[in-house]
């Protein structure tokens, strides 16, 4: 029997996509995720392909820096995206950091 994997072909085929969104259906929340790389100032902007209807969503960010302590912070949360910044544990800018991010709409009844 052939297995059928619904979803984005880049993801179900073992690849990856820089931006992926799951529209909330029924009782589920909207989830958006991706990666971004910070510039020389340790900053980056995330712009959603499709915005949220409001800013009632949570953001989870983490740096892909094995063996290094990187602090990730977000600001300017908007319906269309947000900004982020990375620093080392001493407060100095960390540039060229790949950051994974997830944005999840609050599922308030």
Confidence of residue 29 (pLDDT cuts 50, 70, 90): confident
Query: CA-to-CA distance for 44 and 59, rounded, in angstroms?
Result: 14
Task: State the sign of the Cα–Cα–Cα–Cα dihedral 57, 58, 64, 69.
Answer: positive
Q: Please name the residues in contact with 33: beta carbons below 8 A apart, sequence gap of 6 or more.
A: 19, 20, 21, 100, 101, 102, 103
Three-class DSSP labels, 52-100: CCCCCEEEEEEECCCCCCEEEEEEEEECCEEEEEEEECCCCECCCCEEE
Query: CA-to-CA distance for 43 and 73, rounded, in angstroms?
Result: 10
Which residues, listed in sequence order, are joined to residue 43 by a DSSP beta bridge? Answer: 85
pTM for the structure as a whole: 0.73
Q: Tell me: domain 23-105, CATH 2.60.40.3940, correct?
A: yes
State pLDDT tens for residues 68-107: 788 999 999 999 999 999 998 888 898 899 999 999 998 7
For the chain, give every domain's residue range. 23-105
């Amino acid at each position: 029997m052939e297995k059928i994997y619904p979803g984005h072909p880049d993801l179900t085929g073992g690849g990856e996509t820089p931006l992926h969104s799951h529209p909330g259906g029924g009782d589920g929340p909207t989830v958006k995720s991706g990666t971004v790389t910070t510039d020389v100032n340790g900053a980056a902007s995330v712009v959603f392909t499709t915005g949220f209807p409001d800013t009632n969503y949570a953001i989870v960010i983490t740096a892909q820096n094995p063996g290094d302590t990187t602090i990730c912070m977000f600001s300017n949360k908007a319906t269309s995206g947000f900004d982020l910044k990375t620093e080392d544990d001493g407060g100095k800018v960390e540039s060229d950091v790949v950051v994974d991010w997830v944005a999840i709409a609050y599922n308030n009844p």
